Amino acid sequence: MTKNMKILLGVVVILIILFLINYMGQKKHTTQSENLFTCNPDDVFNIIIEEEGEKLEIVRIDTIWQIVGHDSLEIKRRQVDNFFTNVFTTKLQSIISRNPEKWAIYSVDDSTGTFLTLLNDTGDTLNRVIFGRSKSNYSRNYVRIGDDLNVYQTNSNVIHQLQTRPTYWGEKPKPPEPEEKVDTTPVE
């Protein structure tokens, strides 16, 4: 092997080593996202939202969603669709804190958090999550999952879709439109 070939081979080996070191360093900074909700949307029959002492419960009977205690309201189908499209597909991005003493800072404690509980058709809990508002990054939320002590950051802000106001989820039914009268007089 000539001297030039040895030098070229050495440079290639050094470049490969530098590439691998750089790749491993970059890999540490990549966010690993996982789904916040582990259950199947078809298994959800009851959605309970609690915030600041207010509670709203939405139940599914067959394929129809209803707001518990508000029979005069008809569910807004787009709100339920938005829930399953946006909230249900939320992903966890990173752990923000492992210290329960900091829950209040992230608004995921019992007094400041927004609780979301999903139940199946037999009333068993599928998921229970506490959402908190980020005071510095309005495009994300903080969450605490069930009994997990960790606080996670989400990939999007969905807390505004977890309203306890019945009129957010439902509306008064529209009166039926009157039928048009058809003129049945014979034409001469």
Taking only the tens place, the pLDDT of each residue in 2-12 is 888 888 888 88
pLDDT for the residue 30: 47
Number of structural domains (the chain) is: 1
pLDDT at 177: 76
Give 83-116 pLDDT, tens digit per residue: 999 988 899 988 999 999 999 999 999 899 999 9
> Is-contact 90 158, C-beta < 8 A?
yes
State the pLDDT confidence band at 187, using cuts at 50, 70 and 90.
Answer: low
In a domain, 92, yes or no: yes
Q: Which domain holds residue 159?
A: 34-165
Inform me whether the pLDDT recorded for 56 exceeds 60.
yes
Average pLDDT over residues 37-43: 89
3-state SS string for the chain: CCHHHHHHHHHHHHHHHHHHHHHHHHHCCCCCCEECCCCCHHHCCEEEEEECCEEEEEEEECCEEEECCCCCCEECHHHHHHHHHHHCCCEEEEEEECCHHHCCCCCCCCCCCEEEEEECCCCCEEEEEEEEECCCCCCCEEEEECCCCCEEEECCCCHHHCCCCHHHHEECCCCCCCCCCCCCCCCC
Residue at 5 is within a domain: no
Residue with the bigger pLDDT between 70 and 56: it is: 56
Query: Structure pTM?
Result: 0.75
With respect to residue 147, please indicate whether it lies within any of the assigned structural domains: yes
pLDDT on residue 34? 87
**Does the residue 122 lie in any domain?**
yes
Any domain includes 132:
yes
Is 180 inside a domain boundary?
A: no
For residue 31, pLDDT beyond 60: no
- Is 20 a member of any domain? no
In a domain, 106, yes or no: yes
Residue 59 has pLDDT above 90, yes or no: yes
